[in-house]
Amino acid sequence: GAGVSQTPSNKVTEKGKYVELRCDPISGHTALYWYRQSLGQGPEFLIYFQGTGAADDSGLPNDRFFAVRPEGSVSTLKIQRTERGDSAVYLCASSSGTYYTGELFFGEGSRLTVL
């Protein structure tokens, strides 16, 4: 597909479980972002990658959250010991990374529900 793909689209888990959310960006995009969005709110920045490295992870709320992008393409957001407060839509976006005013292309998100 030509757009940003996120899987799963919905994930229901129990408190304390481990969760992985996957993002497949637009081919050739070097910048990749993860945001978290609660209902009716603006997306909250978590982390962004330039290539394989995390250029800014200042938005990760605590050490239960971790993200990787080992080959500079697909990224995985990992959440350990999930809590009910982690319930939200997790959005992934990519951009060409050529200039900082570039457009962010978003996926449809992964809705996480922690029971």
Partner 1 sequence: TQLLEQSPQFLSIQEGENLTVYCNSSSVFSSLQWYRQEPGEGPVLLVTVVTGGEVKKLKRLTFQFGDARKDSSLHITAAQPGDTGLYLCAGSSGTYKYIFGTGTRLKVLA
Binding partner 1 (rule: CB under 8 A), the pick from 25, 34, 35, 54 is 35
Interaction of residue 51 with partner 1, rule CB under 8 A: no
Binding partner 1 (rule: CB under 8 A), the pick from 66, 74, 87, 106 is 106
Interaction of residue 87 with partner 1, rule CB under 8 A: no
* Cβ-based neighbour number of residue 16 at 10 Å: 10
Query: What does the alpha-carbon distance between residue 14 and residue 19 come to, in Å, rounded to a whole number?
Result: 10
The DSSP symbol for 72 reads: S
Interaction of residue 91 with partner 1, rule CB under 8 A: yes
Interaction of residue 113 with partner 1, rule CB under 8 A: no
* Cβ-based neighbour number of residue 21 at 10 Å: 21
